[in-house]
């Protein structure tokens, strides 16, 4: 008989999650105990929200969201980033993920969270949209180039309907990911961030306004950059970047969104600021 319990971050829970992920996915540093402890237990924006499914004493499915602060329509609100989900092969096809997700979203609404956002690949996007009521906002841009992005970061702040809000504590936490640490340095009026991505020669790259203390100082070893994200229309020309052809991308990545407090609230394509820092690809 299947039973459900809230997800958490105790040592026993993290060890169970690590074992479940080892059954469901190829080995990855992001599923190590240290990486899971960082993600689940150390986030300064709050404790994870999610649920586990058990068949007797065996953990058979898991879904968790990570707290984050976002600016939504000019207001800073409490949000959740939809992240880790796994179901044992022996228990797939039983609707466990949908059940865990709806329990998670109801609990999140009860706790005062206003929205859920995430990044879904081509295979998982239809399920989030059709079964769980998410909006497919728009695909993330994927570009390679040289140097900085340019553009008007102040204009980004003015125009963005949706963007992550970083505190000094949360930015320091994000950069300390033990599975893939983020480096950064100051570029005139902005902070630049990089993390290992396609290879050591093409790091993921992001820029934020230079308003917060830089948590780590290190430059990449190459001028090549990988940009995965979104900018509001007209705020960046990406003059030294080119689109990665679709045939060379592992899978298109889509920004998805679901409001919890206002059922008809939607995000507008072309009004989003989103970087690799805002989700867990790198």
Task: Please write the tens of the pLDDT for every residue from 40-89.
Answer: 999 999 999 999 999 999 999 999 999 999 999 999 999 999 999 999 99
The confidence band for 10, taking pLDDT boundaries of 50, 70 and 90, is very high
Convert the pLDDT of each residue in 191-215 to its tens digit. 999 999 977 789 999 999 888 887 7
Share of the chain above pLDDT 90, in %: 80
User: Cα(203)–Cα(214) distance, rounded to whole angstroms?
Assistant: 18
Share of the chain above pLDDT 70, in %: 100
Render the burial of 3-36: b for 16+ CB within 10 Å, e for the rest: eeeebbbeeebbebbeebbeebeeeeebbbeebb
Q: How far apart are the first and last CA of the chain?
A: 37
The confidence band for 163, taking pLDDT boundaries of 50, 70 and 90, is very high
Q: Determine the pLDDT at residue 196.
A: 93
Q: Determine the pLDDT at residue 183.
A: 94
pLDDT of 90 higher than 80:
yes
Mean residue pLDDT of the chain comes to 94
Q: What is the mean pLDDT of residues 213-236?
A: 87
pLDDT of 166 higher than 70:
yes
* Helices 125-132, 96-110: crossing angle, 10 deg rounding: 60
User: Cα(274)–Cα(272) distance, rounded to whole angstroms?
Assistant: 6
Which is more confidently placed, 251 or 52? 52
Measuring CA to CA, which residue among 240, 242, 225, 234 is closest to residue 272? Answer: 234
pLDDT of 222 higher than 90:
no
pLDDT of 250 higher than 70:
no
Q: Determine the pLDDT at residue 246.
A: 81
Name the fold adopted by 2-113: Aminopeptidase (3.40.630)
User: What is the maximum alpha-carbon separation in the chain?
Assistant: 59
pTM over 0.85: yes
Contacts of 223 (CB under 8 A, 6+ apart): 146, 147
Convert the pLDDT of each residue in 99-151 to its tens digit. 999 999 999 999 999 999 999 999 999 999 999 999 999 999 999 999 999 88
Region(s) of the chain under CATH 3.40.630.30: 2-113
Contact 202, 225 (CB under 8 A): yes
CA angle 282, 177, 61 (to 5 degrees): 75
Q: Determine the pLDDT at residue 219.
A: 81
162-164 and 272-273 as β-strands: parallel, antiparallel, unpaired?
parallel
What's the burial of 274, exposed, middle or buried (CB within 10 Å: 0-12/13-18/19+)?
buried
């Amino acid at each position: 008989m299947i039973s459900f319990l809230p997800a958490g971050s105790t040592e026993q829970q993290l060890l169970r999650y690590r074992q479940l992920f080892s059954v469901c996915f190829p080995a990855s540093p992001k599923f190590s105990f240290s990486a899971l402890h960082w993600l689940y237990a150390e986030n300064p924006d709050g404790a994870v929200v999610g649920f586990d499914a058990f068949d007797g004493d065996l953990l058979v499915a898991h879904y968790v969201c990570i707290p984050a602060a976002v600016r939504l329509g000019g207001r800073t609100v409490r949000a959740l980033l939809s992240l880790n989900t796994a179901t044992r092969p022996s228990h797939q096809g039983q609707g466990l993920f949908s059940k865990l997700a709806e329990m998670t979203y109801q609990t999140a609404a009860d706790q005062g969270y206003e929205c859920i956002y995430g990044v879904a690949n081509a295979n998982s996007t239809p399920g989030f949209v059709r079964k769980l009521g998410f909006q497919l906002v728009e695909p993330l841009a994927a570009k390679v180039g040289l140097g900085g992005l340019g553009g008007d970061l102040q204009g980004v702040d003015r125009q963005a309907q949706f963007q992550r809000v970083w505190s000094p504590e949360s930015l320091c936490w994000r950069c300390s990911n033990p599975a893939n640490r983020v480096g950064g340095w100051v570029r005139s009026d902005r902070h630049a961030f990089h993390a290992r991505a396609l290879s050591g020669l093409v790091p993921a790259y992001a820029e934020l306004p230079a308003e917060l203390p830089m948590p780590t100082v290190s430059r990449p070893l190459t001028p090549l950059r990988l940009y995965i994200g979104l900018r509001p229309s007209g705020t960046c020309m990406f003059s030294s970047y080119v689109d990665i052809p679709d045939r060379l991308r592992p899978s298109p990545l889509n920004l998805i969104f679901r409001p919890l407090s206002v059922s008809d609230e939607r995000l507008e394509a072309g009004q989003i600021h989103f970087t690799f820092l805002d989700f867990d690809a790198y």
